[in-house]
A = this chain, B = another copy of it.
Amino acid sequence: MISGLNREVFSHLSYGLYIVTSIRDGRFNGQIVNTVLQVTSEPPRVAVIINKNNLTHEFISYSKVFGASVLDTSTPMTFIGLFGFKSGRNVDKLSQVKFMEGSTGTPLVTEHCLSVLEARVIDEVDVGTHTLFVGDVVSGEVMRTGEPLTYLYYHTNLKGKSPKNAPTYNPDKT
């Protein structure tokens, strides 16, 4: 029998690192997300989890579309800093990187990214501090070959931290 929660168990869960983007009234924004996942194969459907305080959350809730780009291991910390530790309320993030527009109008970041996809939201699940957006994948393309950036690689090799708005934030480690 076990009792109590040792939060170290959460450090054993595996994730990638992605940039999730959206659009609102012609304005673009995006942020780092560790939770982009395929939820069904037929139809191809993905989910992303976004903190309710984030500007990208506001954009996805409004436009009901999002993009996701898979970061690779070439990604420098300055790039992660721009998308993970700055708010689109203060900085025009997309003006500083290479991206293309998807068929939904959402920007798809291509710099340091292996592949891109875009989705239309079909469900929004309130999970507390965050919303889980479920979307039907509209289009997706591989940009190039390489190694996906994982959360483990980010923590181990890049010595990265989890910001307070991340679902994986560990209050025991502040």
Contact = CB atoms under 8 A, between A and B. Distances in A.
A132 interface: yes
Interface in A99-150: 100-103, 108, 114-118, 123, 125, 127-130, 132, 134, 137-142, 148, 150
Interface residues of A, number: 63
A12 B36 CA distance: 11
B5 A139 contact: yes
Contacts of A168: 38, 41
A45 B9 contact: no
Given A2-B116, A14-B16, A40 B130 contact: yes
Contacts of A12: 16, 70, 114-115, 142, 148
B13 A16 contact: yes
Nearest to A41: B169
Given A37-B35, A40-B128, A123-B125, A139 B3 contact: yes
A117 to B, nearest CB: 5
Nearest to A170: B41
Contacts of A127: 39-40, 45, 47, 123, 134
Interface string A6-20: 111110111110000
A76 interface: no
- Closest 8 A-B residue pairs measured CB to CB? A14-B16, A9-B140, A9-B115, A12-B70, A41-B169, A2-B141, A40-B128, A39-B127
